[in-house]
Amino acid sequence: MNLHLKPLLPKTLFARAVLIVALPTVLVQLVAVYAFYNRHWENVTRRMANTLTGEIVFLAQHTRTVNRADRQALMRVFEETTGINASFEPGATLSPEASDRGTGFDEFRQVLQERIDLPFTVQRLPDRENMIVRVQMKDGVLAFRMSVKRLESPTTTIFISWMAGSSLVFLLIAIVFLRNQVRPIRRLAAAAENFGKGRDDPDFKPSGASEVRRAARAFLVMRERIQRQLRSRTEMLAGISHDLRTPLTRMKLQLAMLGDMPEAAEMAADVAQMEHMIDEYLDFAAGDGGEAAAPVSLNALLQGVADDYQRSGQPVTLHVGEDGVIEIRPNAMRRVLHNLIDNALRYGKRCTVSARLISTQAEIAVDDEGPGIPEGQREEVFRPFTRLDASRNLNAGGVGLGLTIARDIARGHGGNITLSESPAGGLRVLIRLPL
């Protein structure tokens, strides 16, 4: 049962709350209308039909025994008393087909049939506001013209209008109240989403009901704890790297004093390798470096990165389609693209960068013609300090942090990086970013 109803439920909390309020309200109103119809409306309608029938039967019975002149006088008095226009059509006969069979007259027709032993017809006139009842007499037809309101109780319309109006007012008040209750939850969700994308939201403050305030305060504590841990990691790795640079600088000076000795060249290469490793540690520790996000043209960003390589004659091809604006940290994203393109050129000789917009996200693909990565190892390469075999080491010359840094930055923008097989036969690195 629940599985069948689940697809029909609204997706948002606000819509579900409105449904919780509206559905019982509508059901209660329907029950009230049904009870009113059964216990009141039918009784009132039947009493009105009895009253009208009694007036018609009274005139029909008394016109049987009076002459023409007295009949006219009796009909005038009848009209003045009841408000029903009565007329006599001498020599006329009724046509059975002339009687309407609308449900609006069923109750009246039934009562009239019970109380009069003469043929009759009931018709609604073309103006829909009046009706005419014809009764077959011995010498003609006695016609009664009256408003259909004689069979309709005004309390019915008033009751239904009051029920509908009060329900509408109640729902409007509930919607306004629920919107105010849901607004703090939406703000909390937006703050959490912004934090997940690496955007600061300094104006966010707990508000709303006590439960929502409690959740908001827990989020703020969690955000502060995560930021503190990131700062501690950055400061620790930066301190270690700084401490290592001092002896490395001293070693470089000592190597320079050794001249052109073969051992000096090998040691110099080792020192350069260590400096490169320290730079990667600093990049990993810095993350996005606290850079502020800004709206950037996707095509302009990719064109600028491609130009950096094409100016130096490196085989980087760019294919872009519809342009879009993405809110990113430009320098951090350029670092990601440079890292991926460098890997593609190192192992694939050629690199193709393409981009497209899909619904609410942008996709950037970096393809190469290299040996690729086995499917079972594609997720493993994103782990810090992970290096593959010599056939395809995306972090060659480093310590295994390049792809880790790239994915961290992409996820810090609310996106992700995944690996797959390239149409060119090598590796495809796909970056997805929200628009």
CATH of the domain at 355: 3.30.565.10
Q: Are residues 323 and 238 in the same domain?
A: no
pLDDT at 45 over 80: no
Q: Region 279-294: what's the mean pLDDT?
A: 68
CA distance 404 to 95: 94
Q: How far is CA 94 from CA 143, 147, 187, 327, in A?
A: 11, 21, 75, 84
Q: Region 108-117: what's the mean pLDDT?
A: 84
Q: Are residues 263 and 318 in the same domain?
A: no
Q: Are residues 420 and 315 in the same domain?
A: yes
CA distance 270 to 288: 29
Q: Are residues 304 and 280 in the same domain?
A: no
Q: Are residues 319 and 386 in the same domain?
A: yes
Stated pTM of the model: 0.55
Q: Region 328-349: what's the mean pLDDT?
A: 88
In a domain, 1, yes or no: no
Q: How far is CA 68 from CA 90, 94, 330, 338, in A?
A: 10, 20, 105, 113
Report whether 401 contacts 395 (CB < 8 A): yes
**3-state DSSP percent of the chain in helix, strand and coil, to 5:** 60, 15, 25
The whole-number pLDDT of residue 420 equals: 92
Domain closes at, from 286, 303, 329:
286
In a domain, 124, yes or no: yes
Residues in contact with 7: Cβ distance below 8 Å, sequence separation at least 6, in sequence order: none
Q: Please report, as a single letter, which amino acid is at residue 249.
A: T
pLDDT at 46 over 60: yes
The pair of structure tokens assigned to 100 is 């309407």
CA distance 294 to 213: 30
Q: Higher pLDDT residue, 218 or 257?
A: 218
CA distance 422 to 414: 24
Residue 75: give the domain boundaries.
11-154
Q: Region 89-109: what's the mean pLDDT?
A: 72
Q: Are residues 266 and 381 in the same domain?
A: no
Number of domains in the chain: 3
Percent with pLDDT over 90 in the chain: 14
The whole-number pLDDT of residue 209 equals: 85
Altogether, the residues listed in the chain come to a count of 435
